[in-house]
Amino acid sequence: MSAPRPTLSVGFHPDRPIAEVGDLAAEAEKLGFHGVWVADSQSLFRDVYAALTVAATRTSRIELGTGVTNPVSRHPAVIASVLGTIDELSGGRLKMGVGTGETAVQSLGKKRATIKRMESTAALMRGLWAGEAVEYEEATLTQDWRARRVPVLFASTGPKSLQAAGRSADGVYLKLGIHPEVMAYALRNVAQGREESGKTLDGFLVKAMIPVAVDDDDPDRARDEVRGQAGAIARAAALAIPAEDLPSSLAETLADIERKGSEARGNQGYVEWLHSPEYAASIPDEIVDAFAIAGTSQQVADRINGLGALGITGVIPPLTMPDPWPTLRAIGQGVVPRLDPTTAESA
């Protein structure tokens, strides 16, 4: 029996007028995408929950999710209430991606959440949605109205976080690329956590945030579009994955990129270098293939269709460029119709 095919959603930064985020969500639904995930960083973007509210009113079918929020910049009880409200408005279409916090937390001068806090956050929200009184940080908390249990996905990369996702979440939101050995590492740790809680991987959601580019006239140009993004994700993954679990070929290639990069960037700052054409040109095809998907519409669709065999249930390309409309339409018009309609997700 062949593996179910992953769903295809898109991720947005609400870095534009909030009405346009609603326009993007409506267009994504019209084009046949499975869902829309919106980033949360209050100092950089418009509010994620306002964006999801607008998206809920502009759509009727697609999945909506936070990609991702955190339990530091907002109290988990506040998140539980707002998620329950938006889920109610959307007719039960919401999912919660939650991480330890990056720019949203750093901009407040606070420390990122611990894995323990992530797990207690998931337990707290489920209890509140069910109408239970829950102990959290020396306080007894309640929510005086019932809400549906919104699926919770942990944004995880390291072994302990992946195991925590298996123990305490309904899914995992990965930013590790799609190399088979890396995916095996991620799911091995998730499965360990599931086993600790007496569960299997059946029904567990595995969302992979993967840059995607399409160009039917010049597939090499599509690869160049995601080359820098693939390199940045590869670097972050290499820092999170234990050395013994990182494929040796990737480790050697990344070490070579780092060495050449340190020699080539001269007086450029690190962030400036990461967004430079010189940096993108230093990323070989091997890294692009392991951490992104690019090519013609058919090549991209074939690649996505095959990811179910690695255990991935959903693919989320981040459309974080200044103008996401061309990429949204290129993927929607070229790739979505070529995807196998059999999907891995039921929730």
Supply angle C-alpha 94, 99, 102, rounded to 5: 125
Q: Is the pTM of this model over 0.85?
A: yes
Q: What is the mean pLDDT of the chain?
A: 94
pLDDT (mean) for 102-110: 89
Question: pLDDT (tens digit, 9 = 90+) per residue, 245-263?
Answer: 999 999 999 888 888 777 7
Residue 1 has pLDDT above 60, yes or no: no
Q: Round to whole Å and give the CA distance between 211 and 222.
A: 11
Alpha-carbon distance 72 to 118, whole Å?
Answer: 10
What digits encode the pLDDT tens for the residues 326-343? 999 999 999 999 998 766
Q: How many CB atoms are located within 10 Å of the residue 268 CB?
A: 15
Cα–Cα nearest to 206, from 186, 225, 192, 220: 186
Q: H helices of 265-308, where?
A: 270-274, 277-281, 285-291, 297-306
pLDDT at 275: 73
**How many C-beta neighbours within 10 Å does residue 142 have?**
11
- Yes or no: say if 207 and 313 are a contact pair by the CB < 8 Å rule: yes
CA distance 188 to 295: 30
Q: Which pLDDT belongs to residue 93?
A: 98
Rg, C-alpha atoms of the chain: 20
Query: pLDDT class for 312, splitting at 50, 70, 90?
Result: very high
For Cα atoms 199, 203, 206, give the angle at the middle one, nearest 5 degrees: 105
Task: Tell whether the model's pLDDT for residue 161 goes beyond 90.
Answer: yes
Give the pLDDT score at 74: 93
The stretch 44-53 carries a mean pLDDT of 96
Whole-number percent of the chain with pLDDT over 70: 97
**102: pLDDT confidence band, cut at 50, 70 and 90?**
confident
Q: What is the DSSP letter of 318?
A: B
Give pLDDT, residue 4. Answer: 82
Q: What pLDDT sits at residue 271?
A: 63
| Residue 96 backbone dihedrals phi, psi, to 5 degrees | -115, 115
Q: For residue 56, count CB atoms less than 10 angstroms from its CB and return exposed for 0-12, middle for 13-18, buried for 19 or more.
A: buried
**Residues 341, 7: contact at Cβ < 8 Å?**
no
What would the mean pLDDT of 273-301 be, rounded to a whole number? Answer: 92
Q: Rounded to an integer, what is the distance from CA 291 to the centroid of its chain?
A: 13
Whole-number percent of the chain with pLDDT over 90? 85
* DSSP β-ladder status, 134-136 and 139-141: antiparallel
Per-residue model confidence as pLDDT tens digits over 128-149: 999 999 999 889 999 999 999 9
Going along 202-342, which residue ranges are E strands?
Answer: 205-209, 212-214, 293-295, 314-316
Please, what are the domains in the chain?
7-216+296-338 (3.20.20.30), 220-293 (no CATH)
Instruction: Say what the pLDDT of residue 2 is.
Output: 66
**Residue 256 · residue 324 · CB < 8 Å:** no
- E-strand ranges in the chain read 7-8, 10-12, 35-38, 63-69, 94-98, 134-136, 139-141, 152-156, 171-174, 205-209, 212-214, 293-295, 314-316
**So what's the pLDDT on residue 277?**
85
